[in-house]
Amino acid sequence: MPCFIMRALIVVSATLLVSGALLLLFAETTGSLFPLLPLSLPLVLSAPLLLGMALSIALMPERSTRCH
């Protein structure tokens, strides 16, 4: 079960990072989404938080077997 959770956290983290970067890029180039611009920062900053959660799950003592 922890392997599934770690994989899901990594996929969600990458999705948040890419969506935040694309939102920032789109808002900066078009200038039409400036009210949504503050939303891109939490999206980008939550990605390392989720990766840290995946790392903490991987370092738990009961995780003695490798993920397949």
pLDDT at residue 1 greater than cutoff 70: no
d(CA 24, CA 42): 11
d(CA 42, CA 40): 6
Position with higher pLDDT, 63 vs 58: 58
Sequence ranges of the domains in the chain: 2-58
Whole-model pTM: value is 0.77
7-48 pLDDT tens trace: 888 999 999 999 989 988 888 888 777 777 788 888 889 999
